[in-house]
Amino acid sequence: MTELALRGGKPAVSKNLAIRWPVLGGQERAAALEVLESGVLCGSNAPQMKALEAEFARFVGAKHCLAANSGTAALHMAVAASGMAPGEEVITSAFTYPASALAILHHNAVPVFADIDPLTFNIDPTRIEERITPRTRALMPVHIHGLPCDMDAINAIARRRGLVVIEDAAQAHGATYRSRQAGVLGDMAAFSLNATKNLPCGEGGLFVTNDERFLGAASALRVLGQDRDDAPFDAEYPLDSEAETEFAGVGWMYLTQEIPAAIARVQLRRLNDSNRNAAANAAVLGARLSRLAGVVPPSCPPDRTHVYHKYRVRVDPRALGLSIPPRRLRDRVVAALRAEGVEAKLWLGKPVPEMPFLKARAGYGHGCPWTCHGSEVRYADGEYPATSALLDDSFVVGSQTYPIYPQPRRLMEQYADAFEKVMARAADLPDPRER
Ligand SMILES: Cc1ncc(COP(=O)(O)O)c(C=O)c1O
């Protein structure tokens, strides 16, 4: 048996095989140059932005799309468009990126969390109803890591209780649930176009809906509260509009820009191929890792497709006959894999409701907005056992700079070789805290 790289052996993974994300080539350069040559950098009806909106709406099968300058902005547009009043509650997953909760807080609404299904890592629909109160206005399922939530179960609750459903699809471009795309599985959806995402442009977001009322509200919010500006784009006067817009409500400045929009359009043309590569890479890893005692690769229910924005692996000390806490085994495995050349990362350390930004009751500005509105919601530790267990016993294969979606199959085989090598010595891996 070859020695662990951690102990001076030859690493299992070749250097320089991994492809760095995002993959930007001649087409992105040409698209950015075209924008510079046009002299139009931004605008309510600017051509790259409008084209991206039309193309992404077609891609997900939605009637409408609005491009925004971040995924958080697009999520906030959805929260606001739902007609949320201060102090109303939105139920979301305890295992998500803080941006899901922040988009709710940005509207003086209150995030309420439900624990996850330990197999999909998504919000467990059976834990939603117990969180509903007379203040609940919306559900925000998060398709975490690129796997859609159980949307039929979630929509059934929403219909029964009169709630709006906002998909946080920030990580799930192109993923499907029962043959329909993430983005058209609820009332509204938000995607992120951040550089780490499967559809990257730098910073950006996309708001999607089939409902004209939500579209109108989100569109006004996006540009400082102004009424929709439907005046056609005038290439001679790109910075002027003859539209008689009024500022009917309070809004934000969430418009995107032409260079990121142009880059996103190029990336969108490659998204299906890239998602197919992610699935093929996940299949290679899944086939080999599932044969290893103590390693649990991610699963995907048969009614869905996963785009593997993150490929999260669990470890189980009991399956190896080890009586150590899962976190300790996880940390040892991660250190050994990294030494072998595997990109192994932790992503998030706590359930969102246990993070300091929700615990600090002082909040920001004139005090915490969610306590100002008489909210009774308390964020206590230990209430999300499935999320806590996941964060203790798992890690992500692939970093954000080297995620699994663009990688060659050979690298995945080498990652699997590294897992085999490391797990064969699981009982006596060095502890990184003792080195
Ligand atoms: C689940 C989730 N929601 C929302 C966001 C926010 O997107 P952005 O970073 O584009 O604002 C992210 C970004 O990482 C995310 O992962």
What DSSP string runs through 197-240? SSS--BS-EEEEES-HHHHHHHHHHHBTTBPP--PPP-TTSTT-
Residue to mutate (ligand 1; options 69, 93, 97; most atoms within 8 A of CB) = 97
For atom 12 of ligand 1, the residue with the nearest CA is 170
Q: Name the residue among 202, 130, 211, 197 with its Cα closest to residue 166.
A: 211
Q: Is 197 a catalytic residue?
A: yes
CA 15 to ligand 1 center in whole angstroms = 30
CA 285 to chain centroid, in Å, comes to 21
Q: What is the pLDDT of residue 374?
A: 61
Q: What is the pLDDT of residue 231?
A: 79
Dihedral angle, C-alpha 49, 54, 58, 64, nearest 10 °:
100
Q: What is the number of the ligand 1 atom nearest to the C-alpha of 168?
A: 3
For atom 10 of ligand 1, the residue with the nearest CA is 71
Domains and CATH numbers, the chain: 26-269 (3.40.640.10)
CA distance 154 to 133: 16
No. of helices (H) and no. of strands (E), the chain: 12, 14
CA 167 to ligand 1 center in whole angstroms = 12
- Average pLDDT by stretches of 10, the chain with 435 residues: 93 97 98 97 93 98 98 98 94 98 93 97 98 97 98 98 98 98 98 98 98 94 82 86 79 96 98 98 98 98 98 98 97 98 96 85 44 68 95 98 98 98 96 81
CA 72 to ligand 1 center in whole angstroms = 6
Structure-block tokens of residue 385: 């056992």
What's the alpha-carbon Rg for the chain, to the nearest Å?
23
CA 212 to ligand 1 center in whole angstroms = 25
Q: What is the pLDDT of residue 373?
A: 57
For ligand 1, which residues put their CB under 6 angstroms from it? 70-72, 75, 96-97, 99-100, 142, 168, 170-171, 192, 194, 205
Residues in the chain: 435
**Among 10, 63, 197, 421, which one carries the catalytic annotation?**
197
Structure-block tokens of residue 83: 């007609």
Residue to mutate (ligand 1; options 76, 145, 171, 203; most atoms within 8 A of CB) = 171
CA distance 182 to 169: 6
Q: What is the pLDDT of residue 246?
A: 80
Residue to mutate (ligand 1; options 102, 167, 194, 196; most atoms within 8 A of CB) = 194
Q: What is the pLDDT of residue 363?
A: 43
* Cβ contact 220:228 at 8 Å: yes
Dihedral angle, C-alpha 32, 37, 43, 45, nearest 10 °:
-90
CA 309 to ligand 1 center in whole angstroms = 12
